[in-house]
């Protein structure tokens, strides 16, 4: 490769990056995991580009939920980061990803999905209307409680009284919205 070819390739890459940044700025969508999130793409198409959600994407694929979450929706997905999965007890993620545990993995993942397009202002409104806490039914049959911290951060308390914080809200998708969270939500222990 000549220097001229390298320079031309770099110029094209820079132009593409600038176009992406401009397009991202126009959408108003936050970046997630170092990647632009495009509102015209669906949840799965955007999630696969986030460096912070590789474990979630692998889990969605292992559970066979990629096609569902690429569907029409609308879906609100509370998307735990890789760090949230790493905070689970040692060996938990590996165990969930085993084929024999697919039903449990599906349950855990669908407890992160609500069959609605719930932006943070709507969630805050529900919390206020219910006196500071609002119960949310998930696709997976879990009932979690949403509330707000003193700083306005939306918090979700799961079935085991663990609390996840929304760290990036309102990532618009063609089939709903993603809210990035810092804790994996777990169903109640039976």
Q: Which of 77, 166, 167 is closest to 127 using CA atoms?
A: 166
Q: Which of 2-16, 77-91, 98-112, 143-157 has the lowest mean pLDDT?
A: 2-16
Q: Go through the domains of the chain in sequence order and give each one's CATH number.
A: 31-181 (2.30.180.10)
- Residue 113 — very low, low, confident or very high, per pLDDT cuts 50/70/90? very high
The pLDDT value recorded for residue 26 is 54
Residue 44: its pLDDT value, please?
93
In this structure, the dihedral spanned by the alpha carbons of residues 48, 91, 146 and 44, taken in order and rounded to 10 degrees, is 10
Cβ atoms within 10 Å, residue 183: 22
Rounded alpha-carbon distances, angstroms, from residue 6 to 12, 15, 36: 10, 14, 25
Q: What is the pLDDT of residue 49?
A: 92
Distance CA 176, CA 174 (A): 6
Mean pLDDT value across residues 49-65: 94
27: pLDDT confidence band, cut at 50, 70 and 90? low
Q: Which residue has the higher pLDDT, 26 or 45?
A: 45
Tokens 């949840």 -> residue:
43
Burial class (CB in 10 A: 0-12, 13-18, 19+), 96: buried
Question: Measured in whole angstroms, how far is the alpha carbon of residue 69 from the centre of its chain?
Answer: 11
Give the helix ranges, DSSP H, for 98-139.
102-110, 120-129
- Please tell me the predicted confidence (pLDDT) of residue 92: 92
Helices (H), ranges, the chain: 3-27, 43-47, 54-63, 66-69, 82-86, 92-96, 102-110, 120-129
Which pLDDT does position 16 carry in this prediction?
Answer: 39
The pLDDT of residue 21 is 44
| pLDDT score at 189 | 81
Report the C-alpha gap between 65 and 98 in whole angstroms: 15
The answer on pLDDT for 20 being more than 50 is no
Residue with tokens 């959408």: 27
Rg of the chain's alpha carbons, rounded to an integer? 18
Q: What is the pTM of this model?
A: 0.84
Q: pLDDT digits over 131-164, tens only?
A: 999 999 999 999 999 999 999 999 999 999 999 9
């Amino acid at each position: 490769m000549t220097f001229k070819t390298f320079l031309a390739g770099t110029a094209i890459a820079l132009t593409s990056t600038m176009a992406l940044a401009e397009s991202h700025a126009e959408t108003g969508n936050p970046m997630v995991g170092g990647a632009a999130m495009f509102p015209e793409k669906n949840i799965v198409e955007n999630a696969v580009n986030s460096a912070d959600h590789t474990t979630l994407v692998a889990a969605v694929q292992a559970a066979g939920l990629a096609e569902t979450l690429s569907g029409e929706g609308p879906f609100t997905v509370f998307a735990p980061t890789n760090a949230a999965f790493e905070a689970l007890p040692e060996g938990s993620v590996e165990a969930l990803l085993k084929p024999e545990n697919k039903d449990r993995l599906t349950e855990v993942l669908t407890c992160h999905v609500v069959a609605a397009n719930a932006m943070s202002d709507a969630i805050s409104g529900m919390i206020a209307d219910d006196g500071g806490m609002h119960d949310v039914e998930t696709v997976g049959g879990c009932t979690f409680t949403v509330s707000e911290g003193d700083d306005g951060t939306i918090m979700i308390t799961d079935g085991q009284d663990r609390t996840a914080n929304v760290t990036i809200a309102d990532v618009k998708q063609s089939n709903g919205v993603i809210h990035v969270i810092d804790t994996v939500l777990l169903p109640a222990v039976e």
